[in-house]
Structures are given as structure tokens and as C-alpha cells.
């Protein structure tokens, strides 16, 4: 698509993140991508099974948080198999151009197959690239989304900085991510599920135990709630808020770029 090619091929400004991201960080990003490629063939199925299809509902809820406007230019970072970008195109008439970016080629391959069979594929393209060092110039998008991907960044702050850079003034970042419930009973039940049941099922059905051990460890260690909102504010986002979903097992984080 000509418009998408033009955005991707524009020269990035000199103050982009290329020089600020350490090589060890980039190496860890790529190792994470290889991990997701190993489970790409079962990724969607296991998401539906292990979340009892709540992941579908959570993605749909992002429509309620889109900024005002029509024909919005959307960037979905860590797009994986393109679930989120397809959900937004299906449930909102506001989205025009949509680009999905991911560092895992086999995940994008699965997403490409879904795009080819989807009626909402118009003005959507998938691009291989690193969310911490993106191939887009500043002020390119009205909306940046990332679903269940920010906790996998080797450098969270570098990622948030890039998200802010590529957003246009007045644009909005929407982050869908796992979080931890406040209710004490739910909290311990949730941790038991993530620590014991989920790795076993993930290993049996995907053949990769390490990927699902990584899932529970990354969820437990990643900042959530007010702590993650503070990170957004440190990276220049305003009007920051968190919306808990399903008793707090996931959350939508919203932040705007005002200048």
C-alpha cells in the first residue's frame, strides 16, 4: 500500500532511539522474539483457552478508549498475530490506516494469513521491526496500541519513549496488559493459576515450557496500576489513567501526547 510504504520509508529524525538503546537490550528483544516464534503455531489457540476467551473481550474494550476523530492512523506495536489490529478494525469505524509492527517473523506470518482471510484487511499492513527502535518518523500516528507486549520489552522506558515519539500531538497511547487483582483471594488464586496450571497446559499444547514460565514471571514482576501510570507520565504522557478489567487481572492504560 502506497501510504504505508511512504510512512515506513521516510527517514527517521536524528533524535530517534537508534543510538540510545544498548546492544544487549536489542539482543534480549530478539531473544524474546525467537521465543514467540517458537509458539506462533499455537499462540491464538492458547490465548483463547487460557483466558477463557476473555482476551477477545479485553481487546474489544480498547474501542471505548480511542481518541475522537475518523480515519485515525493506528500503529499496533508487538502486534504478533494481528489480533488487536483486526479487532479494532472490526469494531470501530474510526480506524483508517493500520500498521502492525513486530520483531517475530513467524508471528507476523500467522497474522498475514489472518489478514488475507479477513474482510477488514483494507489499509492494514504488517511490518517486521523492533518496537524500541521503530522505522517511523516522529508524529506519524494518531493512536499507538500494544496488547500484552510491553512487559516483554527488555527496556520498558525505551519503548515508551518511542511510542511517544511516533505519536502526533493530540494522539493517544493505549496499553492492554496483565495486572494483579487487589482482592486478596483473587490475587493468590490468580498467582497459583499463573505459576502452576498455565505453564503445564502451555507446555503440553505448545511444546515450549519456557515460554509459559516466562509469562507468569513477567506478569508478576511487571509494574501495574499506579506504578505503570507513573512510568507513562515520566515519558511525557498526560491524562494518564488505568482501567481494570475482569477484577483487575488485566488493565487498559491510556496516555495522551499533548505536544
CA pair distance 67, 44, nearest whole angstrom: 28
Are 144 and 166 in contact by the 8 Å Cβ rule? The answer is: yes
CA pair distance 181, 245, nearest whole angstrom: 9
174 by Cβ neighbours in 10 Å (0-12 / 13-18 / 19+) ranks as: buried
Q: Give me the domain span that covers residue 45.
A: 2-256
* 174 DSSP assignment: E
Task: Look up the pTM and report it.
Answer: 0.90
Are 76 and 99 in contact by the 8 Å Cβ rule? The answer is: yes
- Nearest partner of 51 among 246, 214, 254, 259, judged by Cα: 246
Chain-centroid distance of CA 7 in Å reads: 20
Residue 202 sits in a domain of what CATH number? 3.40.50.150
200 by Cβ neighbours in 10 Å (0-12 / 13-18 / 19+) ranks as: exposed
State the DSSP H helix or E strand holding residue 28, giving kind and residue range, or none if neither: helix 23-38
CA pair distance 66, 64, nearest whole angstrom: 6
Mean pLDDT of residues grouped by 10 in the chain (259 residues)?
Answer: 54 48 74 91 91 95 96 97 95 95 96 84 89 94 97 93 97 97 93 88 86 86 96 97 96 95
Q: How many domains does the chain have?
A: 1
Residue range 184-202, pLDDT digits in tens: 999 999 999 988 898 899 8
The pLDDT > 70 percentage for the chain reads: 90
Amino acid at each position: 500500500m502506497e501510504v504505508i510504504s511512504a510512512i515506513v520509508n521516510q527517514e527517521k529524525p536524528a533524535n530517534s532511539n537508534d543510538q540510545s538503546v544498548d546492544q544487549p537490550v536489542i539482543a534480549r528483544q530478539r531473544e524474546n522474539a525467537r521465543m514467540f516464534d517458537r509458539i506462533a503455531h499455537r499462540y491464538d489457540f492458547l490465548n483463547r483457552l487460557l483466558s477463557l476467551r476473555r482476551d477477545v473481550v479485553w481487546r474489544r474494550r480498547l474501542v471505548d478508549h480511542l481518541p475522537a476523530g475518523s480515519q485515525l492512523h493506528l500503529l499496533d506495536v508487538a502486534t504478533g498475530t494481528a489480533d488487536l489490529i483486526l479487532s479494532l478494525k472490526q469494531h470501530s469505524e474510526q480506524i483508517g490506516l493500520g500498521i502492525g509492527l513486530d520483531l517475530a517473523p513467524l508471528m507476523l506470518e500467522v497474522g498475514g494469513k489472518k489478514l488475507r482471510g479477513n474482510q477488514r484487511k483494507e489499509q492494514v499492513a504488517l511490518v517486521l521491526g523492533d518496537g524500541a527502535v521503530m522505522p517511523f518518523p516522529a508524529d506519524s500516528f494518531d493512536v499507538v496500541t500494544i496488547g500484552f507486549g510491553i512487559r516483554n520489552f527488555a527496556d520498558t522506558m525505551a519503548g515508551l519513549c518511542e511510542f511517544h515519539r511516533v505519536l502526533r500531538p493530540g494522539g493517544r497511547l493505549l496499553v492492554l496488559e496483565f495486572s494483579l487483582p487487589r482482592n486478596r483471594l483473587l490475587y493468590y488464586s490468580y498467582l497459583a493459576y499463573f505459576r502452576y496450571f498455565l505453564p503445564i497446559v502451555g507446555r503440553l499444547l505448545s511444546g515450549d515450557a519456557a515460554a509459559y514460565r516466562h509469562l507468569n514471571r513477567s506478569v508478576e514482576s511487571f509494574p501495574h496500576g499506579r506504578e505503570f501510570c507513573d512510568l507513562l507520565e515520566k515519558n511525557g504522557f498526560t491524562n494518564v489513567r488505568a482501567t481494570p478489567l475482569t477484577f483487575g487481572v488485566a488493565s487498559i492504560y491510556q496516555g495522551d501526547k499533548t505536544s
